[in-house]
Amino acid sequence: MSFISIQQAMKRGKGKVAIRGWVYRERGSNKVKFIVLRDSTSRIQCVIKKDDFSKKKWKQADSLQIEASMEIKGTIKKDKRAPTGYDVSVSDFKIVGFSDTYPITKDQSSEFLLDKRHLWLRSRRMTAIMKVRSAYIQARDEFFKKEGFYRFDAPILQPSQCEGGSTLFEVKYYGNKTYLSQSWQLYAEAAVFALEKIYNMGPTFRAEKSKTSRHLSEFWMAETEVAWFDLHDITEFAKKEIKYCVKKVAKECAEELKFLGRDPKKLLKIADKKWPTIKYRDALKVLKEKAKVNISFGKDLRTIEEDKLMDHFDTPIVVTHYPKEIMAFYKPTDSKHPDEALCFDMLAPEGYGELVGGSQRSTDIEEMRKALKKEGEDIKSYEWYFDLRKYGSVPHAGYGVGVERVVAWICGLENIKDAIPFPRTMLRWKP
């Protein structure tokens, strides 16, 4: 008999089945042992009766501990009292891997669970989140395939910054130094003049000094770059991408989301609405008039202000035209409003902050040189990037999505650390 998943076994609902997995729960008496077995698909109660086995075999069953791995053969039937509505009356079993006393018991602190993350990943909660993350990434790949994009990969070790020198991780590089990637973008701007429509997803590193529930030192950024696109085109495209992914995940992972306390229908509703685009100046007005928060033009919106702003929206919104002065060097000046840049952020509702950051790209080499010099950058290491503007440059635009931010929002997580299997922050880099 070949093994089937627990979900398949329950679909069958009757007859002989062979399943395998890990002991999720166990309890017993001197006559019978109840095991809830889990695999990646579900859980099911299995009943081992002493009378059906030799003394030696019964001893094995009796000593089974949580997380032991085993194979089970038996007869499945409906049972209302069982945790998932079915149980298996066991006719034979084999212990594949014994388990010591499992260190994770009820009501552990979140720090303890982070120390034991290698084991905590097996929990229903982490399994559900990992499934949502996987579904989201697969949905995104599907979206870009449909849209006719090429996947393009950039180096992780890079000679210079893209998003400001203060959060770079330096890496020794044979007698020289290099940095871990802050963004795929600058290299994408080289490839976009060959492939025109490109995307990717890769590990991204920022030495963030802030210990917030939204910042990781290592996260995954899902980036896009498109030739011939201006700011308006790119913001509309970003909305289309996120809406597509949210819908797909809400449908595919409805069970997981419900388990996490998130209503998939609510997400579907949000994805069907129109997501507004407003200018930074208008965002300041909303803050002033509705939230009584006074911010003068030229200040970046901090987390707390983003949250106050988003109290007045029930869908993600796009905010464009941030002050040029405080934006990264590659974000172009709006010729109609020279104090504004042709850039945008997408902000999530419900306190999940900035999901996406992007812009049209500057084609003004002198302006970029000036901005980089002001930041104290060595202009020489950007000459290759300026070359891109010298040989047949065209308008182009792109953005980066914070994968963990999106996963945290979709799942309704309290902390971004649960949106990635092994989080890295200022204070945590193990296991």
Interface map 335-364 toward ligand 4AD (x if CB under 6 A): -------------------xxxxx------
Bridge partners of 358, per DSSP, are: 344, 399
Residue 358 contact, options Mg ion, ligand 4AD, none, Cβ 5-8 Å cut-off depending on partner type? ligand 4AD
Q: Is 307 in the site for ligand 4AD (CB under 6 A)?
A: no
User: Could you give the CA distance from residue 329 to residue 324 in angstroms, rounded to a whole number?
Assistant: 9
The smaller minimum CB distance to ligand 4AD, of residues 260 and 343, is found at 343
The answer to the question of residue 264 lying near Mg ion (CB under 5 A) is: no
- Pattern of binders to ligand 4AD over 364-403, x per CB under 6 A? ----------------------------------xxx-x-
The interface region with ligand 4AD, picked from 34-42, 65-73, 114-122, 212-220 by CB under 6 A, is 212-220
Nearer to Mg ion, 74 or 357 (CB): 357
- Quick one: residue 276, left, alpha or beta (phi over 0 = left, psi -120 to 50 = alpha)? beta
Interface characters, 167-206, with ligand 4AD (x: CB under 6 A) = ----------------x-x--------------------x
Contacts for 112 with CB less than 8 Å, ≥ 6 apart? none
Q: Are the C-beta atoms of 356 and 399 separated by less than 8 Å?
A: yes
The answer to whether 404 contacts ligand 4AD (rule: CB under 6 A) is: yes
133 contacts ligand 4AD (rule: CB under 6 A): no
Cβ at position 291, least distance to Mg ion in Å: 21
CA 412 to centroid of chain Cα atoms: 12
Token duo for residue 323: 């002050």
Minimum CB separation of residue 28 from Mg ion in Å reads 55
Task: Kindly state the smallest distance separating residue 284's Cβ from Mg ion, in Å.
Answer: 17
**Is 238 near ligand 4AD (CB under 6 A)?**
no
Distance of CA 221 to CAs 213, 238, 330, 405, Å? 17, 14, 18, 10
Angle formed at CA 313 by CA 310 and CA 318, multiple of 5 degrees? 75
Q: What span, in angstroms and rounded, lies between the C-alpha atoms of 283 and 295?
A: 10
Angstrom distance (rounded) from CA 114 to CA 120: 8
What's the min distance (Å) between Cβ of 23 and ligand 4AD? Answer: 36
Q: Of 77-85, 218-226, 244-252, 266-274, which segment contacts ligand 4AD by CB under 6 A?
A: 218-226
234 vs 276: CA distance, rounded Å: 14
How many Å apart are CA 231 and CA 285, to the nearest integer? 22
Q: Kindly identify the residues of this chain, within the stretch 344-363, that bind Mg ion according to CB under 5 A.
A: 357
Contact call for residue 223 and ligand 4AD (CB under 6 A):
yes
What are the DSSP calls for 314-379, one per residue? SS-EEEE--BGGGS-TTSPEETTEEEEESEEEEEETTTTEEEEEEEE----HHHHHHHHHHTT--G
Nearer to ligand 4AD among residue 209 and residue 251 (C-beta): 209
- Element at 272 (helix H, strand E): helix 264-272
Q: Contact at 8 Å (CB) between 297 and 339?
A: yes
128 binds, among ligand 4AD, Mg ion, none (CB under 5 to 8 A by kind): none
CB of 85 to Mg ion, least distance (A): 46
Residues that bind Mg ion (CB under 5 A): 357
Residues that bind ligand 4AD (CB under 6 A): 162-163, 183, 185, 206, 208, 215-216, 219, 221, 223, 354-358, 398-400, 402, 404-405
